[in-house]
Amino acid sequence: MAREMTFKMERPGLLHEGDKITVTEGVLPSNYYYTIDPSLAMSGNFPFRDRMLEREGVVTKVEENARGFYVTAVFGQEQNT
């Protein structure tokens, strides 16, 4: 089953649609968070019950809004790119 996740990116141009990515999992006292390697973008916090086991994905969207740059990626799905 595919999982979609959004990450905050601090600067434009670091990632593009179709890029294959790898994430690193971080652990807080009651949450997990994920970072696109090498520190290109970071997810929000996820409770332990929502832990993601996949570590490789593909960027499906990069957008800018009033709060900054955001990257959407899909994990756990075969990609033919």
Question: With 90 as the cut, is the pLDDT of residue 80 above it?
Answer: no
pTM of the model: 0.89
pLDDT at res. 79: 47
What gap in Å lies between CA 43 and CA 36, rounded to an integer? 8
- Over residues 28-38, the pLDDT tens digits come to 999 999 999 99
Domain residue ranges in the chain? 3-75
- Over residues 1-10, the pLDDT tens digits come to 799 999 999 9
